Amino acid sequence: MTEQVTYAQAGVDIEEGARAVDAIKGAVHSTYRPEVVGDIGGFGGLFSLAAAKQMADPLLVSGTDGVGTKLKVAQMLGKHDTVGIDLVAMCANDILATGAEPLFFLDYVAVGKLDSGAMAEIVGGIAEGCRQAGCALIGGEMAEHPGVMDPDDYDLSGFCVGLVDRPAMLDPEAVREGDVLIALPSTGLHSNGYSLARKVCVEGKTAEELRVPVEALEGASVLEALLTPTRIYVKPVLSLLKEVPGAVRALAHITGGGITENLNRALNPAVDAVVDLVAWPVPPVVRYVCDKAGLSEAEALKTFNMGIGCVLIVAPEKAGAVKAALQQAGEAFYEVGRVAAGEGTVRYENEGALL
């Protein structure tokens, strides 16, 4: 007779999985909105779209993303409570580019060996990101992959759905010559360029070395600076769209590809964005990584956000009202350029001055 081999002996611990679900329930519930129907544990998450009945032409907007190799920095430090914020930010900020309000979020966590404590930290971070974005975490999956992933390894994916009324949608086709570029600052690298950042700042160093305060990082350690969560722009931008209707024509979320390869996504083929490179400060961590990598200005501008996480393209006659609203809300911002006739590309002024 064949000797019995259980699922646990094969490396999948169902009981630890149940403990992990119990450990995350409170965090998940903290994100719920009134539209959430039911609870976690079902085969699908339910969310009411009754609010869409009041819209002229409601559109669902969806986005999916991950955190990338920033996870390796978190795993090296053993700090798992912030990368979930990054996960939500990458998805929610993307759908915000249409003017959509994020409604609900789902996550997928793949692990080599399930640990309920670590899972509670990871999902706790995702829940914090959802609270910052105002969306509900209504479902997800924890998948244990013994023999495929190392025991301490994990990967994250996220999925976000939002809602926008078509007449109020932000649209690159609406961008006109003379529009104003108003940027909202980033909190650092956000979640992009980490393969390069790890290569020049982390590889060959111990965790202890990377925890030492660095003067160029204003006293932060490399690990602390690299793990600063991505900023979520949803609430301030949605508030601005409501307070100054019709002012913002389009929005660019500055992610992988930097300013050069993201701001152009908010343009139409008849215009260019002209960005003044002396209009905002570069955060210490961005400057530090660029220096370690010896990057040229042009290469840096298509690799990192360079201190800008979001660019609003604003009608010139309403730029003053937008600035006043942002200032009243306590939001930092920079006027970084203008829209000119062109071919849908990004151009720079004062080249050579950024770094």
pLDDT averaged over the chain?
95
Whole-number pLDDT of residue 207: 87
* Region 218-241 average pLDDT: 96
* Region 114-122 average pLDDT: 90
Percent pLDDT > 70 in the chain is: 100
Whole-number pLDDT of residue 1: 64
Where does 156-272 have alpha helices with state H?
Answer: 194-201, 207-210, 222-226, 234-243
Q: Is 282 left (phi over 0), alpha (psi -120 to 50) or beta?
A: beta
Percent pLDDT > 90 in the chain is: 86
Please say if the pLDDT value at position 2 is more than 90. Answer: no
* Region 266-289 average pLDDT: 98
* Region 129-142 average pLDDT: 96
CA dist 278 → 43, 149, 306 (Å): 52, 45, 12
* Region 197-201 average pLDDT: 96
* Region 90-94 average pLDDT: 98
Six token digits for residue 83: 């990368």
Please say if the pLDDT value at position 87 is more than 80. Answer: yes
Rounded to 5°, the CA angle 354-264-337 comes to: 45
Whole-number pLDDT of residue 16: 80
For residue 202, what is the enclosing H or E element?
none
CB 133 within 8 A of CB 236: no
Predicted model pTM: 0.95
Q: Give the pLDDT band of residue 19 (cuts 50, 70, 90).
A: confident
- Strands, DSSP E only, in 71-207? 101-111, 136-144, 154-165, 180-185
Least confident piece of the model among 8-17, 74-83, 137-146, 282-291 = 8-17
Q: Give the pLDDT band of residue 28 (cuts 50, 70, 90).
A: very high
Q: Give the pLDDT band of residue 9 (cuts 50, 70, 90).
A: confident
Question: Between 132 and 206, where is the model more confident?
Answer: 132
For residue 69, what is the enclosing H or E element?
none
Q: What are phi and psi of 244, to 5 degrees?
A: -125, 75
Whole-number pLDDT of residue 178: 98
* Region 93-112 average pLDDT: 97
- Provide the 3-class DSSP secondary structure of residue 247: coil
List the 58-66 sheet strands across, edge first: 58-66, 154-165, 101-111, 136-144
Q: pLDDT digit string (tens) for 311-333?
A: 999 999 999 999 999 999 999 99
Q: Give the pLDDT band of residue 334 (cuts 50, 70, 90).
A: very high
Q: Give the pLDDT band of residue 13 (cuts 50, 70, 90).
A: confident
Please say if the pLDDT value at position 307 is more than 90. Answer: yes
Which domains are delineated in the chain? 7-168 (3.30.1330.10), 172-349 (3.90.650.10)
